[in-house]
Chains A and B, each alone.
Chain A
């Protein structure tokens, strides 16, 4: 079965640089979620989209922005990167209103040096 695809899987950036993370949801899933998991921590919700509209917002820094495109894929844009942004970034997808199950991608490991 098709799963959530995230690219790149690993990314190394320097402070103050910009990064773009991409997420391709499971086919026919219309909702995308972004989570950030710091070292030794639980995942923290950043933002979600349903049918290309932002549906919920969590602890996402102002330096980050995201959007969902017409093909339902989503991109998380991160600017002015800081050392503390080093983390595993998960994308998850679901079908709105059905079972409420979120299926996670393999994550993108971002390292800021």
Chain B
């Protein structure tokens, strides 16, 4: 079974600075998808960014980018120019290419200081 580990329960960043959230996963599969979801206090789950395992190029979405290291099974999220609205719980998630379910990590609470 696949597992996702987020080793940072909580992180803080100063507004306008950069922060990196860590995620590692365990799988024996070669084809899969990785995601970062944001859950603000409203509890809505918002897709931030996705990465296909077969792509070597790291995904980027505006201020959000990932560092995908397939051999190390690592998938970190970098948030640049942090904004107060980035404060939320961030979940890393895995999905098999042949499967349906998302497997989530325990989450990292991100606090943004003004």
CB distance from A36 to the nearest CB of B (A): 11
Chain A residues bordering chain B, tally (CB within 8 A): 26
- State the CA gap A42–B106 with chains docked (Å): 5
Number of chain B interface residues as a range: 20 to 34
- State the CA gap A84–B31 with chains docked (Å): 35
- Asked whether B28 is an interface residue with its Cβ less than 8 Å from the other chain, the reply is no
Enumerate chain B interface residues (CB-CB to A < 8 A).
Answer: 33, 35, 37, 42-47, 50, 91, 95, 97, 99-107
**A45 neighbours in B (Cβ, 8 Å):** 100-103
- Asked whether A27 is an interface residue with its Cβ less than 8 Å from the other chain, the reply is no
Q: Are A33 and B47 in contact (CB under 8 A)?
A: no
Beyond A42-B105, A42-B106, A43-B91, is A101–B47 a contact (Cβ under 8 Å)?
Answer: yes
**B105 neighbours in A (Cβ, 8 Å):** 42
